[in-house]
Structure 1
Amino acid sequence: MFSSTKALQVSELTQIIQKLLEENLNDICLEGEISNYRPASSGHVYFTLKDNHSVISAVMFRSSASALRFRPKDGDFVKVTGRLSVYPPRGSYQIVCDTMDLAGEGQLLAILEQRKQRFAQLGYFDANKKKQIPSYPERIAIITSPTGAAIRDIQRVIKSRYDNVHLIVVPSLVQGNEAGDALAKRVRQINRLGLADVIILTRGGGSLEDLICFSEEILVQAVVDSRIPIISAVGHEIDWALTDFAADYRAATPSAAAEKVTENWLNFYDRLYSASQDMRYFVQNQIDQVRKMTGIFSKQDIQRSFQIYLQPFQQRLDEAKEQLMRHIKQNLDDKCNWLNIRLAQLEEFNPQKIIRRGYSLIKDEEGNIVSTSKIVNPQDRLTIHLQDGHIETVVQGVTNEEQ
């Protein structure tokens, strides 16, 4: 490539070094302590990584820095992946970082404690904001890996306690850099569609690094915003995540979460079974008592006792019937007498009866009764009604006598 006897320009040597480094060291993983951490207004961050003996410059451009899950600071011990790059104007080399994670469990705990304090100050963990877990949920959404042990444990417990519940398994990543976003998306989807009465957010046990996605800010925020009550059941009893503090109820294990959502159903069916047994015993006891009472009597004795019991009622019924008939007859007689009296009164005022005594009834052409001469004029045609017929006549003259 070059000869030691030929003089090189500085830029030529820099280009050779750049080519060697960038072509051969383009995928490296490096651990070290951050120092001189400098975020730029452009979104890029600049810092150095060091150990006890050496220092290397580092840069993380905005596209990668925006995906960081924590806030780096001087003194953090981190693990980065990236590639070596040479900056020709200064003849220096640096590592261009694509990812950055805390190295070591102690650093993860420090980050989680930092987040925990910040979320607590925002009120995410306030007890008065916790929603009540439904007493008798009929639809239970489970956000977890569809192939993990957690879903099998939950299904086994729920089916053994209350087989009629509707389980909705919502598959999601539960580990890795993209798991926090995926879990948060599932929580929001269930709320948007109203799929369940309660949500179980769960996975099996693992290392602190495995469970870190359940402490991501985006997931904690989704849990706090959820209108549907959420149970957090992450890992084993000794494991914990920030969703445990943000959720409405924290279950020590996935099985404990299943027991929580079915505890009232189980008690309800226990009480129902106990009540049915008590009722069955009571009814059977009453039947036995009746059998004992009826067993000492013959059929004839029962019929005779029934007749003796029924006789007073039959007698009262006959008496009431006779009294009713007498009352009806008396009422009819009274009505007939009243009608006869009224008929006699009407007969006294019958015009035919008056006519038979020698009087007559005079009517004009319209059939009106003529009761005074003042309404009659000469040439009027009148009809005179007598006892045995009537006379048609024409008025020749009218004489009015003053009273």
Structure 2
Amino acid sequence: MPGSKPIWTVSEITNALKEMVQEEFPFIEVEGEISNYRPSGVGHVYFTLKDAGAVIAAALFRGRSEQIQVKPADGMKVIASGQIDIYPPRGTYQLIVENLREAGRGHLLETLEERKRKLAAEGLFDQARKKALPPYPRHVAVITSPTGAALRDILQVLNRRSAAPRITVLPTLVQGGEAAQMIADQLRRAAVYNLGEVVILARGGGSLEDLMPFNEEVVVRAIAECPLPVISGVGHEVDVTLADLAADIRAATPSAAAELVSDRSEDLLLRVKGFRREAADILQNRLSQTRRRLDRADRPALLDLLRSKLMVAMRRADEAQSALRLGANKHLDALNRRRELALRSIMDSSPHAILARGYARITRKSEDIASAAMLSAGDNIDIHFAEDRASAVIKNSSSPKTPSVEFLEAK
């Protein structure tokens, strides 16, 4: 339609932008801090350059990386020279690095070094304050992400052992702004509620930024204050955090942390099996020695010795039997006396026995009369004695005092 704006395809606009960028920035130098450093297996190097407000992806291909003197690493502040390139299939842009020179240590590493010096001066990394692991832990607390690979690795190691300990998982975030405080809270919770004999603090590998919660002061202090031994298994073997320095034992990986715990339990099981075999061997040796002595012994003398021991044992058995019989008889006599006393008490408390002692029972139409207040003038009552009874008519019941009674003939 005349006057309408042109319609671009995705490829057209992307290629146009690529040409504009390459014309505007044919060769530039960018200063920033390296993070997320990832060398590839074929020699290429990929990383991110960042500052306080933005990030840009960067690629250093093998032909150039072999010629550059600076060895890039996370946290290093560098000046990267190269060309901006847009990759149309993904619609992303990156800096193709031709040269690198160090511009000074990155702010992140400087902050970590300053924090490390401060905490070290307080003695939080001192070897003297580190606690030993229990010899054979039967209960292990694991502080990690409930969905991460670190937990799966730990459980796989612990559960394949024949002497696997009880495991309590305390879930937490392991990266991000809220992770450090959550990790510290779970360390305190494990100690307050005694959720294990030893604590494994773990997460898988990641960039320097990913591992920053394990460099936070709140986590380091929580580890140092924890009364339970803490094993750190954070990242890969090359990753060392401040949490690793504060922990009682540092393991290279989460799996290695689990091995430290399970090896001790497995060692206990092996030692028990060894003791069992040793005891069986000792018993077998003693039996063999006794059998050989019996074979060499003077048989008549041996029979006399056995006969003497048998007589002593029989005499002791007779004495024990007599003592048992005497004790049983005494016990039965005591039970009989207690039974007779109980029967006598029951008989003395029976209604017939009470009536035989001169008391009487008064009823009105089979209803027991407990007091004079229950009677009225003219009521017919029966008076029961031990052997017979009499009938009577109430003459007067107007007074709360005992009513007058007119006796009729005995029945």
The interval holding the TM-score normalised by the smaller chain is 0.3 to 0.5
With normalisation by structure 1, the TM-score equals: 0.48
Bigger radius of gyration: 1
With normalisation by structure 2, the TM-score equals: 0.47
